[in-house]
Structure 1
Amino acid sequence: MMKRLLITGAAGGLGKICREGMKGYADVIRLSDIAPMDPAGPNEEVVQCDLSDRAAVIELTKDVDGIIHLGGISIEAAFDDLLQANLAGTYNLYEGARQNGVKRVMFASSNHAIGFHKRTERLDETARLRPDSLYGVTKCYGEAVASYYYDKFDVETVSVRIGSCFEKPRDRRMLSTWMSPRDFISLMKAIFDAPMTGNLVMYGVSDNKSTWWSNEHAKFLGWHPQDNTEQFRDEIEAAFPEEDRHDPAVIYQGGMYAARGHFED
């Protein structure tokens, strides 16, 4: 049993899934976000915190055994906004972990860190970073920070390049990128149950027939996703027209993020 697990970004969609799914995993779950959250329940602590405030983040990470870092902006945005939430915020989180002796972090990376790879490519952890957006750039940065803090300070990280985590896929692209909430929670537990992780980069995706990503290198975690998108395929294909294979949003794994122009233009 872990004594205290910190979840940042606890007011967001993934944060709410994590809050519910990780109940009982640690003696205390510390929940943090800049946005309002539901009041603390049994064995919970609720701490409102701006990740760009280094002193507040160092206080937030005290007496913590592990961190699920979901905090920050999770969509494309202006650079100045991403600078504070995703760049400064991620640095502050890792500096807090270092100063407070936190030994393991799950960093919520994104498929948008590799979104300019084509869908015809099968990617593993060795794939070259090819961000499709400013948001994707911040996730490349986060993976680099994780690498630095492992090599220099022995803070272990599993950077999970999350595809799309909802109750069911919402379009044809998600037939390849979807991760079920059940598989997401089982992955979180596998990450903190493992005797060691080192600095690991992997993909957050269920056992989908048409996935573009391989987690063979991460088998040592003992994670076995249980769900796949085939049960939804007929419904999704009936609801959404056949894709144009010449459309950049279809050619590239990042979808619309790869097809759009620069956010600040």
Structure 2
Amino acid sequence: MSAHIGTTVITGAAGRIGHTLRTALRADADRLVLLDRRPLQAEAANETCLKADLADLGALEDAFIGADAVVHLAGIPDEAPLPDLLADNVVGTHHVLEAARRTGVRRVVLASSNRLTGAYPIHHTVFPDEPPRPDGLYGVSKVAVEALGQLYADKFGLQVVALRIGSFEAEPTETRHLATWLSPRDLVGFTRAALTATGVTYTAAYAVSANTRRFWDLTAGQTQLGYRPLDNAADFAADFPDDDPFWTGGPQGGRYADPGYTLPHLP
């Protein structure tokens, strides 16, 4: 399935998700503008590669001129000291949204995270409108990212979609992924839908495959974005033990919710 996405900017384009999306969305775009702190090389005639830092609001403005949409992936992707997460994830996202506002970009797709609600127990199905229960400092930074997106939608009229990305892997690699896996095909499907869905003001949706054992509700993605995931981690269930301690009722974040995962990053 393809859809026209005009000129789309991807921040953090050098990462795993960025590489997957640039490859899949290339044919849908008039132009892809690929931003990263690391140097990138264009792989197609409609790709433009720029080296830029989220701290540089002016550079983001220059990169966004003429763009129809931004897919914002850049930032720290895991637990880290809070000052670092605030600088890269929160202030960086603020700069992306502000640059979009100043340059007239109509839609911004934010890479949020399932870790925003990782402290909920695994027996609880979480809907996107429930209160956040982050499993660590990284999750806290994504709470702020989503709040900024809501603010810019409410106050300045940006169309914002926050995708709460699951465990992005080619295939599940641990027991928790039987609930949280996001396949490459569904990553592309959710992102394409987030870029093209009509009637969007602000939407937060879990971006996770149609896993039988998932603990996140997918209604927002289906009704507001029009995407129903295709893959299911249950196809790989035989690779993992049924009696794994993860299923005994702990938090959805698994090891990410353990105090020891955050303690090394505290002052």
TM-score by length of 1: 0.93
Going from structure 1 to structure 2, the CA distance change for 1:111 and 1:244 (only over 3 Å counts) comes to: closer
Q: CA deviation at 1:244?
A: 5.7
Q: Is the 8 A contact 1:40 1:46 kept in 2?
A: no
Residue matched to 2:232: 228
110, 118, 122: which is aligned to 1:119?
Answer: 122
Question: Partners in 2 of 1:165 and 1:244 — Cα distance?
Answer: 19
Q: CA deviation at 1:166?
A: 0.9
Q: Which amino acid in the other structure matches residue 229 of structure 1?
A: A
162, 181, 192: which is aligned to 2:184?
Answer: 181
Q: Which amino acid in the other structure matches residue 213 of structure 1?
A: W
Q: Which amino acid in the other structure matches residue 232 of structure 1?
A: F
Residue matched to 1:218: 221
Question: Partners in 2 of 1:3 and 1:179 — Cα distance?
Answer: 26
Q: CA deviation at 1:135?
A: 1.0
Q: CA deviation at 1:199?
A: 0.4
Question: Partners in 2 of 1:98 and 1:168 — Cα distance?
Answer: 37
Residue matched to 2:27: 24
Q: CA deviation at 1:60?
A: 1.8
Question: Partners in 1 of 2:259 and 2:166 — Cα distance?
Answer: 18
Residue matched to 1:106: 109
Residue matched to 1:260: 259
Residue matched to 1:42: 45
Residue matched to 1:76: 79
Is the deviation greater in 37-46 or in 82-91? 37-46
Q: CA deviation at 1:38?
A: 3.2
Q: CA deviation at 1:182?
A: 0.4
Q: Which amino acid in the other structure matches residue 56 of structure 2?
A: D
Q: CA deviation at 1:50?
A: 0.4
Q: CA deviation at 1:40?
A: 4.4
Question: Partners in 1 of 2:246 and 2:215 — Cα distance?
Answer: 18
Q: How many residues align?
A: 260
Going from structure 1 to structure 2, the CA distance change for 1:190 and 1:244 (only over 3 Å counts) comes to: closer
Question: Partners in 2 of 1:4 and 1:202 — Cα distance?
Answer: 23
Q: Which amino acid in the other structure matches residue 243 of structure 1?
A: P
Q: CA deviation at 1:245?
A: 5.6
Residue 237 of structure 1: SS of its match in structure 2?
Answer: coil
User: Which runs of at least 4 in structure 1 moved beyond 3 Å after TM superposition?
Assistant: none
Question: Partners in 1 of 2:163 and 2:207 — Cα distance?
Answer: 6
Question: Partners in 1 of 2:6 and 2:196 — Cα distance?
Answer: 13
Question: Partners in 2 of 1:198 and 1:134 — Cα distance?
Answer: 28
Q: Is the 8 A contact 2:76 2:88 kept in 1?
A: yes
Question: Partners in 2 of 1:76 and 1:8 — Cα distance?
Answer: 20
Residue matched to 2:97: 94
Question: Partners in 2 of 1:126 and 1:200 — Cα distance?
Answer: 10
Tell me how large the CA RMSD over aligned residues is. Answer: 1.6
For structure 1, the 5+ residue unaligned runs are none
235, 242, 245: which is aligned to 2:244?
Answer: 242
143, 148, 166: which is aligned to 2:151?
Answer: 148
TM-score by length of 2: 0.92
Q: Is the 8 A contact 2:203 2:220 kept in 1?
A: no
Going from structure 1 to structure 2, the CA distance change for 1:225 and 1:71 (only over 3 Å counts) comes to: same
Question: Partners in 1 of 2:91 and 2:240 — Cα distance?
Answer: 39
Query: Which deviations, in whole Å up to 9, do the C-alpha atoms of 1:222-262 show, x marking residues without a partner?
Result: 20111001111101338xx722666xxx6111121211343
Residue 251 of structure 1: SS of its match in structure 2?
Answer: coil
